[in-house]
Amino acid sequence: MSAKRSSAHLEAMFGPLEIRVLEALWTRPAAACVRDLQPDFPGVAYTTLMTTLDRLFRKGALTRTKSGRAFYYTPAATHDEMMSALAGSTFKTLLPSDASAMRPILSMFVDTVGRQDEALLDELEALVRERRQELKGKAPR
């Protein structure tokens, strides 16, 4: 997924500074505190960064541990996991409860995927097969 489309999905749930903080944490190999992140955010007050981290923690996007007087934050999910969850949540809100009314939406989805990249249609087909196997109680091929 392109960075532009990723950002659009994230903007639906997070503000611009929250997105920047998440992106900064995703690039780090270990948990970070406000002081660790501060150099990445010139012009952003320490307290603003601290409040943003706390807000992301309260939204469930970050986990934190306390060491001394500081909290150390890590993303609760990888970038790809978060994008998948956001996309799934968005898609779920679009699906009608009536199964027959889902056909036009699914058809549009398949058409859009096909226009984007034909190879994705093969991947989509494989995912559908795997899911059917899972639902039948068998391990996917």
| Residues 23-33 pLDDT 10s | 999 999 999 99
**Is the domain of 9 the same as that of 52?**
yes
As a whole number, the mean pLDDT across the chain is 85
Task: Assess if residue 90 is contained within a domain.
Answer: no
**Is the domain of 63 the same as that of 122?**
no
C-alpha span between 111 and 105 (Å, rounded) = 10
Task: Assess if residue 89 is contained within a domain.
Answer: no
Classified as helix, coil or strand, 73 is: strand
* Rounded to 5°, angle at Cα 111 from 80 and 9: 30
Close Cβ partners of 48 (under 8 Å, ≥ 6 residues apart): 17
Ordered per-residue pLDDT tens for the chain, 141 residues: 444 444 555 666 788 999 999 999 999 999 999 999 999 999 999 999 999 999 999 999 999 999 999 999 999 999 999 888 887 777 777 777 777 777 887 888 888 888 888 888 888 889 889 989 888 886 555
Q: Quote the tokens at residue 135.
A: 């639902």
**Is the domain of 65 the same as that of 113?**
no
